[in-house]
Amino acid sequence: MASLSQQEIIYLISLGSLGMLMTIGGLAFFFVVYQRRMLLFKESKKRDDEEHAQKMIELQLESQEFERKRIAADLHDSVGSLLWGAKLTAAYIERTGELQQEQKDSHKELMEILDQSIHVVKRISWELTPEGFHYSGLSLSISSLCARFNGHGLKVIFIEEGSTVLWNDERALSSFRIVQELVSNGVKHAAASMLIVRLFWSETELMVEVSDNGKGFELGETRNGIGWWNINHRAKQLSATIDIGEPPTTGGSIINLKIPLPNDSK
């Protein structure tokens, strides 16, 4: 075989180098495309997981609302009816029987217990599912909530500012549940003598402030209870923001909630 000329050797080396470069470039391109696809896959899977998790949370909150309605109906229709029946029977016994003074005293005490029990059943039933929420809306329901907690050593004040609107859809009910939980937490855990709920309506959002003069809490502490779980996830559903802090006065706590208003509520 004739020996290759220097020019042919350079050509072959150049051709081989070009082939190697093309192979390396192809591998690099394949690697970049593969990495891009993996990144898109991970992002897509993350979105799917987040959407699935959010859907499960929504279903859980819907299930809670369904259970509230069911329990409220059972209390009203079953326990409430039984208590009313017992009260009517007790009243009949008083009318038709000749009771001694001691028996009259016991009967009076029984009637008072039945009245208290009926009142408690009504209160619990209302707290589970606010009566006529569709007609009264968020504002009146919160006002009624404050009135129900007011008394027995705790002064609960309701203040409303701005142009009030009748907001009564599912988002409004979720907003009510958040305020209800905040008020309930204040009543149960704050050891306060005064609790104030302020509503301020603007054109684009509803601002809610719940403050008390109780013992307060550490701002950095983790809140993992079911109540705070409900508050945080309902707020996320509503695209609302929650700010927890301390009032300028001594003691107590202050919680600010900002809820975007839907266009049709204005």
Same domain? For 104 and 144 the reply is: no
Query: How much is the pLDDT for 209?
Result: 94
Same domain? For 105 and 197 the reply is: no
**By the 8 A CB rule, do 172 and 137 touch?**
yes
Same domain? For 107 and 144 the reply is: no
Query: How much is the pLDDT for 30?
Result: 80
pLDDT higher than 60, residue 6:
yes
Query: What is the Cα–Cα distance from 24 to 86, expressed in whole angstroms?
Result: 90
Q: How confident is the model at residue 1 (pLDDT cuts 50, 70, 90)?
A: very low
Domain boundary among 103, 129, 155: 129
Domain boundary among 62, 94, 129: 129
The 3-state secondary structure of 94-127 reads HHHCCCCHHHHHHHHHHHHHHHHHHHHHHHHHHH
Q: How confident is the model at residue 258 (pLDDT cuts 50, 70, 90)?
A: very high
Same domain? For 23 and 112 the reply is: yes
pLDDT higher than 70, residue 192:
yes
CATH assignment at residue 151: 3.30.565.10
Q: Is 86 exposed, middle or buried (0-12, 13-18, 19+ CB in 10 A)?
A: middle
First to last CA, the chain: 94
Query: How much is the pLDDT for 136?
Result: 83
Query: What is the Cα–Cα distance from 118 to 123, expressed in whole angstroms?
Result: 9
Same domain? For 110 and 165 the reply is: no
How many domains, in total, are found in the chain?
2
Query: What is the Cα–Cα distance from 241 to 61, expressed in whole angstroms?
Result: 18
Q: Is 170 exposed, middle or buried (0-12, 13-18, 19+ CB in 10 A)?
A: exposed
Same domain? For 60 and 32 the reply is: yes
Indicate the average pLDDT of the chain: 78
Same domain? For 246 and 160 the reply is: yes
Domain boundary among 97, 129, 161: 129
The amino acid sitting at 95 is R
Same domain? For 115 and 192 the reply is: no
Same domain? For 123 and 160 the reply is: no
Give 14-25 pLDDT, tens digit per residue.
777 777 888 887
pTM higher than the cut 0.75: no
Its domain, for residue 178, covers 133-266
Same domain? For 105 and 137 the reply is: no
Query: What is the Cα–Cα distance from 148 to 156, expressed in whole angstroms?
Result: 9
Same domain? For 28 and 119 the reply is: yes
Same domain? For 266 and 209 the reply is: yes
Matching residue, tokens 């609790």: 195
The amino acid sitting at 260 is P
